[in-house]
Amino acid sequence: MSLKILGISCYYHDAAAALIVDGKIAAATQEERLSRIKNDPSFPEKAISFCLKQAGITARQLDYVVFYEKPFVKFERIIKQILATYPQSNQLFRSAMKEWVTKKLWIKQTIAERVRVSFDKILFCDHHLAHAASAFYPSPYQKAAILTLDGVGEWSVGTYGVGEDNKIKLFKEMRFPHSLGLLYSVFTAFLGFEVNEGEYKVMGMAPYGRPRFVDKVKKLVEIFGDGSIRLDLSYFTFHSSPEYSYNDKFERLFGRPRDKNSLFFTDQTGYPQFWGDKPKDYAHQVKVNQYYADIAASIQTVTEEIILTMCRYLANETGLTNLCLAGGVALNSVANGKIVKQTPFRNLFIQPAAGDSGGSLGAALYVYHQILGRKKRYQLTHGYYGQAFRREEIERFLKKKKIIYTEYKDEKTLIQVVAQALVKQKVVGWFQGRSEWGPRALGNRSILADPRRAAMKDVVNSKIKFREPYRPFAPAVLMEKAKDYFAIDDPTSNPARFMIIVVPTNKTKANNVQAVNHMGTSRLQTVDERTNRRYFRLIKEFGRLTGVPVILNTSFNLRGEPIVNSPEDAFNTFIKSGLDVLVLERFVVRK
């Protein structure tokens, strides 16, 4: 009898479910992909249903269901936090009681009722152990150091550990409220972005600034030799308020917060045509925006310093050269690009859903290996664990909606047609196979374009993504050609395959990939034929036609929406945007 374990994460942000069968991932997806609610935190009923259906089982056949954190321990922390900051925490008390007493404390009952499993099958895993398990168990390493970093779990905000064979031991933790993840989120809010969603925008803004406020940032945080930090809480309110993360003292140090509705542009970003005419006070706004870019550069610089200090300490403590990294901070791809270059670690593994959604997978793997003692591990070599759609389903949808299409029975012809469209400067919605696990589009739910001209970046932003011009697009490059275009030591590495690393763009080739060259760097994805054959062959054909085996890849969604999951989602995005071509497996729809 096979052992079937379902992992669940929810009630904070980015809810998800993951199912493993005898230690192997059978299915994993975020609830947002199915509910169509961005960062949906609700109980992942749709994701659970998909996982069971994908594996061909019912809930009765589950051996265990594991929740990714321990709610009563977390509730204890929140109560102590409220008491320690009362009366400033009065509002936090009211909102917390409403959420916890009516819903979050009773997750075991909710799982039993909505998944329809008995109480004896429901288990709980510590939040940071779930992160650690999500990174170590799918890694290729028999033994590795483990670093987890996020906003906060129950009490932990980060942990150091070691994984060996099927066991994990966390030997040191950093505790709330002294959190690197929360520090970065405070600046995310100050810079006008949504917390737990806009951190990557801060990272994208940083290259346009100079880190001239590092000394000011360091007034907020003391950095110790092991990389742990102590925040000066007199600048913050995240520990006492449900709405605000910083106070007047913070504003006196850094000035007025950036208006979230304002446009961000500097001399270096330019002012895209799709925004219309330049404002009359353009020069003044450039100066103001440059100030915020400098703040972004400063917090990014300090964040990198802290992460690298942690990594050096962990490497020295363990004597290991393999590192598994997890938690929301592990999605800071700029910092990731410096770990192997500037610390003793030579190999880095990051599971593609490194944030809280990945906790569902980690919780299931932790029970399978650590609690049940199962030794056989499976390496995660791709990120395609979501939903796929059969030819018949796609054709039925197209016919029902009376959509004109062409079906290419021969894959070679399909690839030639799409590659030629890209060369002709068409923007393509590319939909194939199972959807991606994690926040990155890796060639199954992607928008693709020609990367050779800088103007293509504005085309994609103005016609499809409707987003800020400073945010970078990723290059997808043939693995064997990656070193020709990018300064990367190991194109086969997991962070490169999963688009979780930023590396310098080779100066000699930068002019050939202008649309994916972000101030001299690129957050690349390397693609091999074994992992994604059709995607690989498309890039190869584009390279044959142009001499550049690289394409622009961005997630297949409109601004504020989740990545598309179904053919209907893809077609709706196609119709609402300026996409020129839609590819649904071997069906092609044109405008």
With 0.85 as the threshold, say if the pTM is over it.
Answer: yes
| pLDDT the model gives residue 470 | 86
| pLDDT the model gives residue 463 | 80
- Identify the CA nearest to 161 among candidates 332, 350, 347, 322: 322
300 token code pair: 């990014």
| pLDDT the model gives residue 530 | 96
| pLDDT the model gives residue 318 | 98
What percentage of residues in the chain have a pLDDT greater than 90?
Answer: 95
* The pLDDT of residue 26 is above 90: yes
Which are the contacts of 587, defined by CB distance < 8 A and separation ≥ 6? 394, 395, 398, 405, 406, 407
| Per-residue pLDDT tens digits for 533-571 | 999 999 999 999 999 999 999 999 998 999 999 999 999
- Identify the CA nearest to 13 among candidates 241, 194, 157: 194
SS3 235: helix
- CA 34, CA 18: separation in Å to the nearest integer? 14
498 token code pair: 């999963």
- CA 188, CA 199: separation in Å to the nearest integer? 6
| pLDDT the model gives residue 398 | 98
Which one-letter DSSP state was computed for residue 512? G
* Mean pLDDT for the chain overall: 97
- CA 78, CA 75: separation in Å to the nearest integer? 5
SS3 226: coil
| Per-residue pLDDT tens digits for 80-120 | 999 999 999 999 999 999 999 999 999 999 999 999 999 99
Q: Helices 333-342 & 282-318, crossing angle to 10 degrees?
A: 40
SS3 70: coil
- CA 148, CA 158: separation in Å to the nearest integer? 5
273-to-6, 167, 256, 315, 469 alpha-carbon distances in Å: 49, 55, 28, 49, 10
| pLDDT the model gives residue 509 | 96
Which are the contacts of 51, defined by CB distance < 8 A and separation ≥ 6? 6, 17, 18, 19, 26, 27, 28, 29
pLDDT band at 376 (very low <50, low <70, confident <90, very high): very high
| Per-residue pLDDT tens digits for 244-294 | 999 999 999 999 999 999 999 999 988 888 888 999 999 999 999 999 999
Q: Which amino acid is at 383?
A: G
Which are the contacts of 100, defined by CB distance < 8 A and separation ≥ 6? 71, 75, 78
SS3 of 389-443: CCHHHHHHHHHHCCCCCEECCCHHHHHHHHHHHHHCCCCEEEECCCCECCCCCCC
| pLDDT the model gives residue 272 | 84
CA angle 368, 369, 375 (to 5 degrees): 120
What percentage of residues in the chain have a pLDDT greater than 70?
Answer: 100
| Per-residue pLDDT tens digits for 192-251 | 999 988 999 999 999 999 999 999 999 999 999 999 999 999 999 999 999 999 999 999
166 sits in which H/E element: none
* The pLDDT of residue 123 is above 80: yes
24-to-48, 152, 485 alpha-carbon distances in Å: 17, 28, 35
- Contact status, residue 183 vs residue 202, Cβ threshold 8 Å: no
| pLDDT the model gives residue 270 | 86
Which are the contacts of 252, defined by CB distance < 8 A and separation ≥ 6? none
| Per-residue pLDDT tens digits for 401-429 | 999 999 999 999 999 999 999 999 999 99
- Identify the CA nearest to 131 among candidates 156, 111, 112, 110: 156
| Per-residue pLDDT tens digits for 445-484 | 999 999 999 999 989 988 887 778 888 899 999 999 999 9
What domains are there in the chain, each with its CATH number? 4-68+70-124+356-371 (3.30.420.40), 180-349 (3.30.420.40), 391-590 (3.90.870.20)
Q: Which amino acid is at 568?
A: E
SS3 261: coil
586 token code pair: 């071997």
SS3 467: coil
Chain-centroid distance of CA 242 in Å reads 24
What backbone torsions phi and psi does residue 240 show, to the nearest 5 degrees? -135, -5
| pLDDT the model gives residue 305 | 98
